[in-house]
Amino acid sequence: MADSLPTTCPDLLASMPSGVSFKKLRKRLVRQALQVIDTYGLVDRTATRRPKWLVCLSGGKDSYGLLTILMDLQWQGALPVDLLACNLDQGQPGFPKHVLPDWLDRHGIPHRIETEDTYAIVTEKVPADRTFCALCSRLRRGILYRIAREEACDAIVLGHHRDDALETFMMNLVHGGRLAAMPPKLLNDKGDIMVLRPLISCAESDLAKFADALNFPIIPCNLCGSQDGLQRQAMKQILTDWETRKPGVRQVMARALSVARPSHLHDPTLFDFTGLVPGQAGPGDDGVPF
């Protein structure tokens, strides 16, 4: 990809601001997404068949940004993939059904709108004092896998960003007792659909600025009434506090997710501790206090 972005864009970016700050923001987001795509092999550039991605569009800033950035890369010739936007209407009370179809039609974006009343299932199964997110997510993912198969898509593509990955890592650490975050690339249990996260290194604050600048018709994520008091919100606040005290700490933590040292953790399935004996080169103790 060229160092400077082209001056003309797809219809989706036709009304983009002309200021320097937005140009830098756009370039940064596009560069970061492309780096993830290439680093983690989200696209096989040697394949003879052009892959097809199901881009999941919720109506939030992150998914709008995801679709826009992927279309930008596609238009620049840096993403040899066919894109199909998909929104799942889950029957939430007050969900503005017209917003996404109207926006997608206006910009000439290929899409599929699927209606499944998972809201009724979740509210029936989950007690009123519990959050709906876990069950809702599982139901949604199963439906998206089905749609991907019906549409002959190789992957479903999600708009999770750097801060989502860090919050998930913190939740797993504090509540799950494991070191795990959100991978950039994941193969589903059946082994036929990839789950891709091209924005996994992008900052949420950048995506928020991007969405504001392009005036995306944001649909709020509080229609089900289950968002207050989530553990994820608590982790987000912790990270925000740390960032306030030490600017840049989110980026440092994000880098740590890609620089793991199994020999300095405690998982015997990742490192052969029993086979570690004197007389051989050891992994070293750099940075590890005695």
Comparing CA positions, the residue from 68, 62, 80, 56 lying closest to residue 13 is 68
Tens of pLDDT, residues 73-92 = 999 999 999 999 999 887 77
Tokens at residue 235, please? 């982790």
Integer Cα distance of 219 and 262 in angstroms: 42
Q: What token pair was written down for 121?
A: 């299932």
**11-56: per-residue pLDDT in tens?**
777 778 889 999 999 999 999 999 999 999 999 988 889 999 999 9
Rounded Cα distance, 113 and 101, in Å: 7
Q: Which two tokens stand for residue 265?
A: 């953790």
- Give the per-residue pLDDT at 224: 52
Instruction: Give the CATH fold of the 19-257 domain.
Output: Rossmann fold (3.40.50)
Compute CA distances 179 → 45, 150, 161, 170, 234, whole Å.
Answer: 32, 35, 18, 9, 18
- Phi then psi for residue 273, to 5 deg, are -70, -40
CB-based contact 232:166 (threshold 8 Å): no
Q: What is the pLDDT of residues 231-285, one digit of tens each?
A: 788 899 999 999 999 999 999 999 999 999 999 999 999 999 888 888 776 666 6
Q: Give 175-218 pLDDT, tens digit per residue.
A: 899 999 999 999 999 999 999 999 999 999 999 999 999 999 99
Long-range contacts of 121-126 (CB under 8 A, 24+ apart): 122/224
Question: How far, rounded to the nearest angstrom, does the alpha carbon of residue 200 sit from its chain's CA centroid?
Answer: 5
Closest CA to 247 of 208, 212, 205: 205
Exposure of 108 by Cβ count < 10 A (0-12 exposed, 13-18 middle, 19+ buried)?
exposed
Would you say the pTM of this structure is higher than 0.75?
yes
Q: Could you tell me the pLDDT band of residue 173, with boundaries at 50, 70 and 90?
A: very high
Q: Where does the pLDDT of residue 124 fall: very low under 50, low under 70, confident under 90, or very high at 90 and above?
A: low
Asked if the model's pLDDT at residue 118 lies above 80, the reply is no
Confidence of residue 146 (pLDDT cuts 50, 70, 90): very high
d(CA 64, CA 217): 9
- Distance between CA atoms of residues 285 and 289, nearest Å: 8
3-state SS, residue 66? helix
* Rg value, the chain, Cα: 21
